A and B are shown apart, each in its own frame.
Chain A
Amino acid sequence: MIKFTNVFKAFPKGGLALKDVSFHIAKGEFVFLTGHSGAGKSTVLKLVYADEPVTSGEVRVSGFNVAELRPRDVPMLRRRLGIVFQDFRLLEDRTAEENVAFALEVTGARRSSLPARVMRVLTQVGLAAKGQAYPRELSGGEQQRVAIARALVNEPSVLLADEPTGNLDERATRGVFQLLRDINASGTAVVMATHDLDLVRQAPYRVIELQEGALVYDSSVDEPRDQAATP
């Protein structure tokens, strides 16, 4: 599904963002990506969705060899992924429905099929009643749910979430996390970058920890430990 083999990533101005990172995430898995700010979590995700070029090593995602992907094939890769961010990245001048439909439209989906598919994912994230609302009329948690619905509408095999609860209060965090667990339970792999260790401890999922660009702990390989080293 996602396979990193000896991946290095250099910063444009020198220094390494990732040092010799290797791991394999299987279909349907739920993986926490942990570490301090700047440890390389976001970089790992950016390499997965081809937002940054790989410096050396191999990155394979859903059958794509990302390091050798031609620019014109990048959109095809991204249609197989769902991506969620800390800052939601919704279009402010479109309703929840339109934001979700937008992700379908760019793939050239038939217009007649849109309303049903949009309603299905909005229902899945618990926002069926708020389809007509604009992002500014929604709470942070609700906005993140819209973003998750947008990520799901193309039925991706992997959902990438970069600090999805970073901007949310505790209640909203629990709600969004539960939603991600539900999504995973229905078969979608989820890779969630977070530094919220309470969240990590709540669930029995695999943990990959990065430190200054190096992979320092992988719960699927290393001995289990009571507590991750990072705060």
Chain B
Amino acid sequence: MNLTIREALLAFRRAPLLSALSVTTIAFSLFVVGLFGLVAVNLQDALRGVAERVEIVAYLLPGTPIESITLAEKDIEAFPEVQSAVYVSEDSALARARAELVEFRDVLQELERNPLPASIEVRLKPRFRDAEHVNDVAERLRGFGFVDDVRFGRDWVEKLDRLRQIAAAVGLVVGAAFAVVAIIIIGTTIRMAVLQRSREIAIMRLVGATNDFIRRPFLLQGAIKGMLGGLVAVGLSYAAYSLINRWLIQAAFFSHAQALAIVGFGTLIGLFGSAASVGRHLRRV
């Protein structure tokens, strides 16, 4: 077996307690980051769910010929922002109202004439569901001669926009803060591992080991610890997610790529933390 790998693995056997402590510390640091990530993922999901309901309704003048409507429907669907445009006739509008507004069923039953206008309901593609694009599309819909009025929750869309921006900013700041704390804690545990072996490092240098030779097992060891910590963190996050899902609210878990990113992040922190600690140690002695 390669000497670097052997020395790195040997370190786990020689100092099992310190190694376990390092892995645990990395795991819990990343777990905190992971929990925050879970909140972020679920918040994003929730916001996306809300955004899906962003809809623009163009009410049509009574008596608009169906040919014009069908043609307009095609035109609107061809807008780059538009995902779908659906024609709702007067009759189906009434039927829907009867089904949805149960309290008013009696009133609706007794109507002699259908008071509801026909409409085209426009749904935008996900990336265009913000205030600017919604306004823009609404404006274009108003351009059709037979469109009486265009409605959408303007305030509501703008609020959603702001909410999204705030969530992104908070996510970035808090996530970065947690990551920095994790890096500091992990760096400290790796520093302990280096100090614990400072005698060994001194002897290695006396017998003519190059700095690279001394560094390599530490880097590998750091990366392994980081990876193990990352795996444990994902496991802990999954346990937390299961509990929340079962007792509190329906939540989503990380995608495979996101889980892999946490493990990768742990590995990188372990690697760079070791590089920094060993580098500093080698420069000082």
Please determine whether B206 and A83 come into contact, CB atoms closer than 8 angstroms: yes
- Which of A77, A89, A105, A108 is in CB contact (< 8 Å) with B203? A89
Task: Tell me if B205 counts as interface (CB < 8 A to partner A).
Answer: yes
Contacts of B14 in A (CB 8 A): 93
Is B207 an interface residue, CB under 8 A from the partner? yes
When chains A and B are docked, how far (Å) is the Cα of A111 from the Cα of B211? 20
Q: What separation, in Å, do the CA atoms of A62 and B204 have in the docked complex?
A: 21
Contact A103 B208 (CB under 8 A): yes
Interface of A, helix, strand, loop or mixed by DSSP: helix
Contact status B210-A103, CB under 8 Å: no
Q: Please give, as numbers and ranges, the residues of chain A lying within 8 Å of B3 by CB-CB distance.
A: 105, 111
Q: Which residues of A contact B207 (CB under 8 A)?
A: 78-79, 83, 102-103, 106-107, 150, 154
Q: How far is the CB of B202 from the nearest CB of chain A, in Å?
A: 8
Contact B200 A78 (CB under 8 A): no
A225: Cβ under 8 A from any B Cβ: no
Chain B residues with CB under 8 Å of A103's CB are 207-208
- Chain A residues in 8 Å Cβ range of B209: 75, 106-107
Q: List residues of chain B with CB within 8 A of the CB of A89.
A: 199, 202-203, 206
B211 contacts across to A, CB distance below 8 A: 71-72
Residues in A135-179 with C-beta less than 8 Å from chain B: 150, 154
Most buried by A among B202, B204, B206: B206
- Most chain-B Cβ atoms within 10 A of its Cβ — which of A79, A103, A106, A108? A106
Find residues 174-222 in chain A having any chain B CB closer than 8 Å to their own CB: none
Give the chain A neighbours of B203 by CB distance below 8 A: 89-91, 102
CA distance A72 to B213 in the complex (A): 12
Shortest distance in angstroms between B273's beta carbon and chain A's nearest beta carbon?
Answer: 23
- CB pair B208–A154 under 8 Å, yes or no, is yes
Interface residue? A76 (CB, 8 A):
yes
**CA of A83 to CA of B209 in the docked complex: distance in angstroms?**
14
Tell me whether A49 is interfacial, beta carbon within 8 Å: yes
Find chain B residues with CB under 8 A from A49 CB: 206
Q: Which residue of A lies closest to B213 (CB)?
A: A106
The closest CB in chain B to the CB of A153 belongs to: B207
> Are A106 and B208 in contact, CB atoms less than 8 angstroms apart?
yes
> What residue of chain A has the Cβ atom nearest to residue B210's Cβ?
A75
Given contacts A91-B200, A93-B14, is CB(A107)–CB(B208) below 8 Å? yes
Q: Nearest Cβ distance between residue A228 and chain B, in whole angstroms?
A: 29
A77 to B206, CA, bound (A): 10
The complex places the Cα of A72 from the Cα of B205 at a distance, in Å, of 11
The smallest C-beta distance from B238 to any residue of chain A, in angstroms, reads 37
Interface residue ranges of A90-107 to B (CB < 8 Å) = 90-91, 93, 102-103, 105-107
24 contacts between A and B (CB under 8 A): A72-B210, A75-B205, A75-B208, A75-B210, A76-B208, A78-B205, A78-B207, A79-B208, A83-B206, A89-B199, A89-B202, A89-B206, A91-B199, A102-B203, A102-B204, A102-B207, A103-B208, A105-B3, A106-B204, A106-B207, A106-B210, A107-B209, A111-B3, A154-B207
Given contacts A78-B206, A102-B203, A103-B208, 17 further A-B contacts (CB under 8 A): A75-B205, A77-B208, A78-B205, A78-B207, A83-B207, A89-B199, A89-B202, A91-B199, A91-B203, A102-B204, A106-B207, A106-B209, A106-B213, A107-B208, A108-B213, A111-B3, A150-B207
